[in-house]
A and B are shown apart, each in its own frame.
Chain A
Amino acid sequence: NAGVMQNPRHLVRRRGQEARLRCSPMKGHSHVYWYRQLPEEGLKFMVYLQKENIIDESGMPKERFSAEFPKEGPSILRIQQVVRGDSAAYFCASSPPAGGSFWGEQFFGPGTRLTVL
């Protein structure tokens, strides 16, 4: 059973460009979370999605950032017009549907390290 997959693993963008980060959850998982980790800091929640629905986006900046989890395909975190302050590691986590014994456990992917030049 493959774990959470993220790509690309490393992404370099120039200021003003767009960054698209992809996340494929573990098989059978229907909940996806995105977190951001700045250098030497802990992880900060950004957004929580279920298939075709944004459940909680309270941690995501209102401008330039968006996320989706379509019915088919991976979850996408999109950052428009990137700035140097967006340089960070972005982690995706997934969890199984409610009611199972592992409900609430979040499993993380390897992350995408975004560098903005």
Chain B
Amino acid sequence: QQQVKQSPQSLIVQKGGISIINCAYENTAFDYFPWYQQFPGKGPALLIAIRPDVSEKKEGRFTISFNKSAKQFSLHIMDSQPGDSATYFCAASRETSGSRLTFGEGTQLTVNP
């Protein structure tokens, strides 16, 4: 019940295209859903996060879509750039209790020039 399932495992997109990464969770107690970006040899960097009181959040080229009834959320990267090539992790937690993050398995995104 603590799992977060992420897909696809890898994704190749052309420059200017849209990258879409999907996650599904099981624990209905989760109330905080962040996305992290990780470059090789670096720590994960918080990209964008959403709470279940909204269905969508946009920050620049990055958008999170959230479907509470389906227990799914996704990251959309518009106008993908080669500099976006990295590993992306979705995560979930029970924010109100300051608890641990449960991470998805990660998606390795490659944006070709």
A54 to chain B, nearest CB (A): 13
Is the beta-carbon distance between A109 and B34 smaller than 8 angstroms?
no
Which stretch of A14-22, A37-45, A69-77, A79-87 is in the interface? A37-45
Is the beta-carbon distance between B105 and A106 smaller than 8 angstroms?
no
Is the beta-carbon distance between B101 and A106 smaller than 8 angstroms?
yes
Within 8 Å by CB of A106, from B42, B46, B96, lies B46
- In the complex, A43→B42 CA distance in Å? 13
- In the complex, A91→B98 CA distance in Å? 17
Contacts of B96 in A (CB 8 A): 104
Tally of A-B Cβ pairs under 8 angstroms: 58
**Interface residue count on the B side (C-beta < 8 Å):** 23
Chain A residue at minimum C-beta to C-beta distance from B51: A104
- In the complex, A43→B89 CA distance in Å? 9
Top 4 closest A-B pairs, CB basis?
A: A104-B95, A45-B100, A108-B43, A42-B103
9 new A-B contacts, CB < 8 A, other than A41-B106, A106-B46, are: A31-B98, A33-B100, A45-B101, A48-B99, A48-B100, A93-B101, A104-B95, A106-B101, A108-B46
- Residues of A whose CB lies within 8 Å of any CB of B are 4, 31, 33, 35, 41-45, 48, 55-56, 59, 91, 93, 95, 98, 103-111
